[in-house]
Structure 1
């Protein structure tokens, strides 16, 4: 039996920060906690700059206008 399986990357739904980590809630219920050390632009930004994010591509990425920074969910996984 041939079954086509579509592999899709979950989409981001929510983003928030602590002093040391960025958290991303995914559409499949997973919650990612990523060290800010991995992303010097975000690590060195102000709280206001970090919080000025928007989802792009229906949640396949996150964009920070003030920082000219983009992250893909696939890249975080």
Structure 2
């Protein structure tokens, strides 16, 4: 008997924003979050603009229509961000 393993790409069931952190509930049960400041356009966005995130492409992408910004769930899960973490104040 031969068994076949099929890898599927994780996608999001829902997305929301709290205190400038974008959270994703993933199909594999995880909930992950990342700071909006890790992306140039999101860093400049107001709190109200950030909260208008929607899921697109059956949960494979995040979309902010007013900001014309799209981010893939795959990229977020892999830790691919545009900007480094800010340095902590000493």
1:45 paired to 2:75: no
Gaps of 5+ in 2: 78-90
Higher-Rg member (1/2): 2
Q: Please, what TM-score do these two structures have when normalized by structure 2?
A: 0.73
SS in structure 1 of the partner of residue 50 of structure 2: helix
Moved over 4 A (4+): none
TM-score for both structures, normalised by structure 1? 0.83
Q: Distance in 1 between matches of 2:2 and 2:72?
A: 31
2:54 equivalent to 1:30 = no
- Point out the structure with the larger strand share: 1
Q: Please report the RMSD computed on the Cα atoms of aligned residues, expressed in angstroms.
A: 1.6
Structure 1 residue runs of 5 or longer lacking an equivalent are none
Number of paired residues? Answer: 77
